[in-house]
């Protein structure tokens, strides 16, 4: 890489007449109305992700404008370009299936087009991980901007935010405690502004992680989508991208074992999304970095939950921002962090945290001596039912179910679950353990089906939580005593496929274990003639089925994790 930004000469083909290639590029740029003077400046690419199917990115045009303003003010040429956009609730069978497609699109468009640095603008659940995965592999100087969280709505004086309250109200409706008129009224008050889900779900967790890694400007993760400061942050991000074009610090300098451990500490202390464990594994995997579950559990046992937000606690992202946001949290977590990590501008974390904060709202961001919980929000489980691990969000679970032994009630797949879960004749009791098979990455693209509904007849009798186990994911905004990401998944012959109705399962959060109480020889016998389902013959789904990895490897494609960076 040369010392000076190459501007429009970046990525010129290296065959034929190079002067002609430059001449051609300039003349086509002219057709976009760009003066010759501007063409000699550094170029900042802006990966933008607006879509009529992505409500969370509704203000994308305003953000792109503000980034462009910053880039121009700092003396470079902004060039927005589109990539795939993933609006969480509009994608079938699941957005997770397309995260790697977006990562590939992002990587390839950064690499193929002439730019000296890049601003990534994303927000909704899969978009930030996809952009970071792509950027790590493209390895051009990069900065992330998030769209910011939604503000809350109101219903009969109660604040509502997507999507923890969506689930809370729907559970009441299923249990018969509210009627169809009321659920209809609530529907219109859950998602009332642009921006990502209003709680500490996957999108907000990933925004906090991007800032902790050093990939976004300090203090920007939690600014509400509709706040003027969000546009100011966009403008500042544009200016920073121009500085990056000169400094040449790339994601592989910023995302290291140490910054990933810092990100895990933050994930654990915000009571963040289970999905973030997988996305971080995928980002790290692009650099050949792997954090074993034993280390993850060590971090979790040391790191208290400090942030009191839904789904694990009480508040919304707007409260977190007003309370001091990531600046306050990182200062509180200081004793746990590697302070010699750098951000995209080369600033060390201890420099970023040197200024003391004027004020912190202690109702939302607690101090280390008065945490929400003494241990981190997530734990990894192993045992004969999950030899390669599973994830449990203890911060959003019922403590009385942490040490459980129960009878398995098994659903063989997504259709079986939909067909039978509300069957009045289903043989199920409150102390049973619900098991869903064949909803993992290979079988089904790993949908958010791990939040199995409480069977209607039990919900109506007042049962609010049960132990549920699957190889699926759950939404970062969901809650309950739910074991997820069981690996290997049932469809590839993991022991989850061997569970039969009536088997007994033991869960122990204290021992971080989950076991099928059936002897090994019998498990082996049941799995002996297991065959994985066929991979689709054509198209992206064929590529997906042939190459997707299991959850502990972040469900990346095998060929994208090889060889680290370019
Ligand atoms: Fe986009 Fe929740 S639907 S963040
Ligand atoms: Mg979500």
Q: What is the pLDDT of residues 54-76, one digit of tens each?
A: 999 999 999 999 999 999 999 99
Residue 533 is classified by DSSP as P
Domain encompassing residue 529? 378-533
CATH number of the domain encompassing residue 495: 3.50.30.80
Query: Residue 168: pLDDT above 70?
Result: yes
Cα–ligand 2 centroid distance for 88 (angstroms): 7
89 pocket-lining for ligand 1 (C-beta < 6 Å): yes
Q: Confidence class of residue 490 from pLDDT cuts 50, 70 and 90?
A: very high
Omega into 93 within 30° of 0, i.e. cis? Answer: yes
Residues 334 and 394 in one domain: no
Condensed to tens digits (0 to 9), the pLDDT of residues 318-358 reads 999 999 999 999 999 999 999 999 999 999 999 999 998 88
Which residues have C-beta within 8 Å of that of residue 487, sequence separation ≥ 6?
386, 387, 388, 389, 390, 440, 471, 494, 550, 551, 552
The answer to the question of residue 166 being in a domain is: no
Q: Whose C-alpha lies nearest to ligand 1, atom 3?
A: 88
Query: Residue 311: pLDDT above 50?
Result: yes
Residues 344 and 386 in one domain: no
The answer to the question of residue 168 being in a domain is: no
The answer to the question of residue 157 being in a domain is: no
Residue 487: what pLDDT?
98
Which residues have C-beta within 8 Å of that of residue 35, sequence separation ≥ 6?
none
List C-alpha distances in Å: 72 to 69, 78, 115: 5, 7, 14
Residues 388 and 333 in one domain: no
Cβ atoms of 361 and 323 closer than 8 Å: yes
Cα–ligand 2 centroid distance for 61 (angstroms): 23
Condensed to tens digits (0 to 9), the pLDDT of residues 201-236 reads 999 999 999 999 999 999 999 999 999 999 999 999
Residues 312 and 251 in one domain: yes
Residues 386 and 306 in one domain: no
Residues 348 and 406 in one domain: no
Q: Confidence class of residue 482 from pLDDT cuts 50, 70 and 90?
A: very high
Residues 47 and 128 in one domain: yes
Condensed to tens digits (0 to 9), the pLDDT of residues 356-396 reads 888 999 999 999 999 999 999 999 999 999 999 999 999 99
Residue 12: what pLDDT?
80
Cα–ligand 2 centroid distance for 309 (angstroms): 15
Q: How far apart are CA 300 and CA 284, in angstroms?
A: 18
454 pocket-lining for ligand 1 (C-beta < 6 Å): no
Residues 385 and 343 in one domain: no
Q: Confidence class of residue 1 from pLDDT cuts 50, 70 and 90?
A: very low
Residues 310 and 422 in one domain: no
Cα–ligand 1 centroid distance for 385 (angstroms): 31
Query: Residue 565: pLDDT above 60?
Result: no
Cα–ligand 1 centroid distance for 536 (angstroms): 29
pTM: 0.97
197 pocket-lining for ligand 1 (C-beta < 6 Å): yes
The answer to the question of residue 497 being in a domain is: yes
Q: Whose C-alpha lies nearest to ligand 1, atom 2?
A: 197
Residues 73 and 209 in one domain: yes
Question: Interior CA angle at 417 toward 174 and 394, to 5°?
Answer: 70
128 pocket-lining for ligand 1 (C-beta < 6 Å): no
The answer to the question of residue 132 being in a domain is: yes
Ligand 1 atom with the shortest distance to the CA of 89? 3
Residues 346 and 418 in one domain: no
The answer to the question of residue 336 being in a domain is: yes
Instruction: Compute the average pLDDT of residues 464-484.
Output: 95
Condensed to tens digits (0 to 9), the pLDDT of residues 404-423 reads 999 999 999 999 999 999 99
Q: Confidence class of residue 14 from pLDDT cuts 50, 70 and 90?
A: low
Residue 563: what pLDDT?
53
The answer to the question of residue 11 being in a domain is: no
Q: How far apart are CA 434 and CA 454, in angstroms?
A: 9
Q: Whose C-alpha lies nearest to ligand 1, atom 1?
A: 124
Of 95, 99, 203, the residue with max ligand 1 atoms within 8 A of its CB, to mutate for a pocket test, comes to 203
Q: Count how many domains the chain has.
A: 2
Lowest-pLDDT range, 17-21, 94-98, 192-196?
Answer: 17-21
- What percent of the chain is modeled with pLDDT above 90? 93
Instruction: Compute the average pLDDT of residues 11-32.
Output: 87
Of 90, 125, 222, the residue with max ligand 1 atoms within 8 A of its CB, to mutate for a pocket test, comes to 125
Residue 324: what pLDDT?
97
Residues 266 and 232 in one domain: yes
Q: How far apart are CA 257 and CA 539, in angstroms?
A: 35
Taken in order 86, 90, 96, 97, the sign of the CA dihedral is: negative
Residue 564: what pLDDT?
42
Q: Confidence class of residue 566 from pLDDT cuts 50, 70 and 90?
A: very low
The answer to the question of residue 187 being in a domain is: no
Cα–ligand 1 centroid distance for 200 (angstroms): 11
Query: Residue 461: pLDDT above 50?
Result: yes
């Amino acid at each position: 890489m040369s010392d000076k930004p190459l501007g429009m000469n970046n990525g010129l083909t290296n065959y034929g007449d190079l002067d002609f290639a430059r001449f051609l590029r300039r003349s086509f740029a002219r057709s976009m109305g760009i003066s010759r003077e501007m063409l000699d400046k550094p170029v900042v690419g802006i990966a933008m992700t607006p879509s009529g199917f992505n409500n969370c990115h509704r203000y994308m045009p305003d953000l792109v404008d503000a980034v462009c303003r910053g880039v121009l003010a700092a003396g470079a040429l902004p060039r927005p370009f589109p990539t795939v956009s993933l609006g969480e609730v509009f994608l079938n069978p699941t957005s997770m299936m397309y995260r790697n497609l977006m990562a590939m699109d992002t990587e390839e468009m950064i690499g193929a087009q002439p730019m000296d640095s890049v601003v990534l603008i994303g927000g909704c659940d899969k978009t930030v991980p996809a952009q970071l995965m792509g950027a790590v592999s493209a390895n051009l100087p990069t900065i992330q901007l998030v769209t910011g969280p939604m503000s809350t709505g109101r219903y009969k004086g109660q604040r509502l935010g997507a999507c923890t309250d969506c689930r809370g109200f729907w559970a009441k409706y299923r249990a018969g405690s509210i009627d169809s008129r009321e659920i209809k009224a609530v529907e219109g008050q859950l998602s009332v502004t642009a921006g990502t889900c209003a709680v500490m779900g996957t999108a907000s967790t990933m925004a906090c992680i991007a800032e902790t890694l050093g990939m976004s400007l300090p203090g920007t993760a939690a600014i509400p989508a509709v706040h003027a400061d969000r546009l100011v942050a966009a403008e500042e991000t544009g200016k920073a991208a121009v500085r990056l074009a000169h400094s040449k610090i790339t994601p592989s300098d910023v995302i290291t074992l140490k910054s990933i451990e810092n990100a895990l500490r933050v994930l654990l202390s915000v009571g963040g999304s289970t999905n973030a464990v997988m996305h971080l594994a995928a980002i790290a995997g692009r650099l050949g970095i792997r954090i074993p579950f034993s280390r993850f559990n060590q971090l979790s046992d040391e790191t208290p939950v400090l942030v009191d937000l839904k789904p694990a606690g009480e508040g919304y992202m707007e409260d977190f921002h007003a309370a001091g946001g990531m600046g306050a949290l990182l200062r509180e977590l200081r004793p746990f962090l590697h302070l010699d990590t750098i951000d995209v501008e080369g600033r060390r974390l201890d420099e970023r945290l040197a200024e003391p904060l004027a004020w912190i709202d202690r109702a939302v961001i607690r101090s280390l001596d008065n945490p929400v919980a003494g241990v981190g929000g997530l734990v990894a489980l192993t045992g004969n039912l999950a030899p390669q691990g599973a994830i449990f969000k203890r911060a959003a679970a019922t403590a009385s179910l942490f040490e459980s032994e129960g009878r398995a009630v098994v659903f063989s797949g997504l259709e079986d679950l939909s067909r039978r879960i509300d069957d009045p004749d289903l043989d199920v009791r409150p102390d049973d353990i619900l098991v869903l098979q064949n909803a993992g990455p290979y079988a089904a693209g790993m949908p958010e089906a791990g939040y199995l509904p409480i069977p209607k007849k039990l919900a109506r009798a007042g049962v609010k939580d049960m132990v549920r186990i699957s190889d699926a994911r759950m939404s970062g905004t969901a809650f309950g005593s739910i074991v997820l990401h069981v690996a290997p998944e049932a469809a590839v012959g993991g022991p989850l496929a061997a569970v039969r109705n009536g088997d007994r399962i033991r869960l122990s959060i204290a021992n971080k274990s989950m076991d099928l109480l059936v002897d090994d020889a019998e498990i082996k016998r049941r799995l002996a003639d297991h065959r994985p389902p066929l991979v689709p013959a054509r198209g992206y789904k064929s590529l997906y089925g042939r190459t997707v990895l299991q959850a502990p490897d972040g469900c990346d494609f095998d060929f994208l994790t090889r060889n680290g960076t370019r």
